[in-house]
Amino acid sequence: MVGKNILEHAGAKAYQFLTPSHAELNLLDQKEVEAYFKAQKPQAVIHCAGLVGGIQANMREPVRYLIENLEMGKNVLLSARASGVTKLVNLSSSCIYHKNSDGFLKEEEILTGPLEPTNEGYALAKITVMRLAQYMNKEFGKNHYKTIIPCNLYGRWDKFDEATSHMLPAVIRKIDKAVKGNESSVEIWGSGKARREFMYAADLADFIFFALDNWDKVPETLNVGLGNDHTIKEYYDVVAEVLGYTGDFHHDLSKPEGMRRKVVSVNKANALGWLASTSLREGIQATYKFYLEKGNV
């Protein structure tokens, strides 16, 4: 999702992109990744590859989410360093923050508390790759490798399968099914009171090009998001409004909700002069349009 949004952004026209598919480059094979970097000699790297999924997938396969994301990150960063890359954007995740916060998550709070158990494997992989980037900067003596920590994302090229997708695209699929099937009730996992921050993926792409153009100003580790959040129930309500669903919602309180609240502080990103521009309703409308056109990609 992130990679395709980057390629669709107007800023992509200023660059020549290398976008190998999994068939062309297996990021889990260190020797293969090293050989690719040596042959292609990229000047900059945006590492947005990864095994991603929602709460169900993370709970079902924690070993895979830990090992594969760690291997991909390690192989990309080590190969970039070996080939002399001096600009690398490493995309992390807000799940690397501790689970008990009720306020805005600040970059200084990483590793200051326990992780959310439902996605701990994925978080540990992202934390380790972030630390690897920081250690490389220390050894280089220069801030070559930046870790961007986006909030939850949704948008064009998202995954809509309820078994593997994140919350918002799963809600879009679920409510679309209810509308088309004339269903009178839709299930919500948990109480619906947990709070989440979702940013349209095209806005993250916009920040990445902003970072490449303002490289020396961007700190080593930086949150990127909206700086505001909504309850899970409020997201269901907005999706229902956009899709024209008029039925009820019922709650399965036996299902996990994850962290009580997850919203990142964007003070540092905003101080650089960057703000996300897509409203929730606009983003959901665009995402739903893409879903109707492309289905589960």
> Which are the catalytic amino acids?
122
**Residues near 191 by beta carbon (within 8 Å), at least 6 away in sequence:** 251, 253, 257
Q: Could you give the CA distance from residue 167 to residue 173 in angstroms, rounded to a whole number?
A: 10
| H helical segments located in 141-192 | 167-180
Per the CB < 8 A criterion, the answer to whether 48 and 2 are in contact is yes
- The string of DSSP codes covering 224-247 is ES-S--EEHHHHHHHHHHHHT--S
**Partner residues linked to 252 by β-bridges:** 189
**Other beta carbons within 10 Å of 224:** 26
Give the residues across from 187 on adjacent strands.
250
Burial label for 190, CB within 10 Å (0-12, 13-18, 19+), is middle
Q: Which residues contact 210 (CB under 8 A, 6 or more apart)?
A: 272, 274
Looking up tokens 């690397």 gives 96
Cβ atoms of 154 and 287 within 8 Å: the answer is yes
* Residues whose CB falls within 8 Å of the CB of residue 99, separated by 6 or more in sequence, listed in order: 113, 114, 115, 116, 117, 259, 260
Q: Say if residues 2 and 19 touch (Cβ distance below 8 Å).
A: no
Q: Residue 33: what residue type? A: V
